[in-house]
Amino acid sequence: MINIAVNKNFEERGGDFYINFKLAINHGELVTIFGGSGVGKTTLLRIIAGLITPDSGSLEACSEIWFHDVQKINVKPQKRNVGFVFQDFALFPHLSVRDNLLFALPKGDDIAIISCLIEIMELGHIQNRKPETLSGGQKQRVALARALVQKPQILLLDEPLSSLDSSMRFKLQNYLLEVHKRFDLTTIMVSHDVAETIKMSDRVVVIKDGMVATYGTPLEVFSDHYSKEKSIVKGAVLAIDKATNHVSVLLGTQVVRIELSKEKLKGLQVGNEIRLEVKAAL
């Protein structure tokens, strides 16, 4: 459905940055692009949308060639018909919610889809308001609705939920999943949240330094490959109680108190990383 094999060199202040993406995505999949900041996640989305032109390679989507260096093909972003939800939502500030959606309606298309999307995304009560008066979650829904007006086959989401609090995030994750199925989309989402990625994606692409490092199902990508009874987790030492030989360790968002032998306590300082063995207990 989408076949990507592209290269590009960016000249930046901190030195050159080279990207080389090779990736095949099937129709109807929800794929998450995962990785730290500055590794090229957004760049991949922008290349698919046509907002960045690769130096070389090819890009095929929806049974069409969108970019090919040898054949000198480069379909404009206007002609690719992808839905794109930007990280800052990119709503047009001078247009109301409804007009933002109308803006996206191709000439001659049935206007009924606007009302339909307003209903699905529950935007009826805010449809006449300007974007600046909306909350983050509302803006997100408007951006998503607007991206669907053109009835795209491919939906690109650039960290769509990163600016929302956790309860709104959870609600919108479900929205996204529903939309993905209902409109039979191939969705590519950028995220750096492991829990979100595991919940939402069919497959995960891990990107490191401009390259595809791993590609697989979320469990394949995120879990240890070898089965064993014990697993090692790392934590940071928060406090040391020498009187009782206890240390407080931060594991994720949880603080645990562990007793250590005197020898092990020696030389340990607050801020050190320590490894803990974890075993399942039922």
Partner 1 sequence: MDWTPLFLTFKLALITTVILMVFSVPIAYWLAFSKSKIKPVFEALVSMPLVLPPTVLGFYLLVAFSPSNNFGNWLETWLGLRLIFSFEGLVFASIIYSLPFMVHPLQAGLSQVPKSIIDASYVLGKSRIETLIKVLLPNIKPSILTGLVLTFAHTIGEFGVVLMIGGNIPGQTKVASIAIFDEVEALNYGAANQYSFLLFAISFTILLMVYLVNGNKINRYIK
Q: Could you tell me the smallest distance in angstroms from the CB atom of residue 151 to partner 1?
A: 12
x/- site string to partner 1, residues 87 to 106, per CB under 8 A?
xx-xxxxx--------xx-x
CB closer to partner 1 out of 33 and 147:
147
How far apart (Å, rounded) are the C-alpha atoms in residues 48 and 3? 10
Helix (H) and strand (E) counts in the chain:
9, 15
CB closer to partner 1 out of 109 and 122:
109
Burial class (CB in 10 A: 0-12, 13-18, 19+), 232: exposed
The residue within the footprint of partner 1, chosen from 8, 41, 80, 139 (CB under 8 A), is 80
* Ranges within 123-162 binding partner 1 (CB under 8 A): 146, 149-150
In 3D space, the residue among 98, 53, 107, 103 whose CA is nearest the CA of residue 75 turns out to be 53
From residue 122, give the alpha-carbon distance in Å to each of 49, 99, 115, 142, 169.
Answer: 27, 16, 10, 9, 16
Q: Could you tell me the smallest distance in angstroms from the CB atom of residue 85 to partner 1?
A: 9
- Looking at residue 92, its amino acid is F
186 has which bridge partners? 154
Question: How many chain residues touch partner 1 (CB under 8 A)?
Answer: 27
Regarding 279 and contact with partner 1 (CB under 8 A), the answer is no
Which pair of tokens denotes residue 26? Answer: 């099937």
What Rg, from alpha-carbon coordinates, does the chain have? 23
Q: Could you tell me the smallest distance in angstroms from the CB atom of residue 44 to partner 1?
A: 15
CB closer to partner 1 out of 78 and 167:
78
Q: Could you tell me the smallest distance in angstroms from the CB atom of residue 50 to partner 1?
A: 8
241 has which bridge partners? 246
What is the residue whose two structure tokens read 């000198």?
72
Q: Where are the beta strands (DSSP E) in 159-229?
A: 186-191, 203-208, 211-216
x/- site string to partner 1, residues 37 to 76, per CB under 8 A?
---------x--xxx------------------------x
CA 245 to chain centre: 43
Regarding 81 and contact with partner 1 (CB under 8 A), the answer is yes
The residue within the footprint of partner 1, chosen from 21, 66, 67, 84 (CB under 8 A), is 84
Regarding 86 and contact with partner 1 (CB under 8 A), the answer is yes
Question: Interface with partner 1 by CB under 8 A: which residues?
Answer: 46, 49-51, 76-84, 86-88, 90-94, 103-104, 106, 146, 149-150
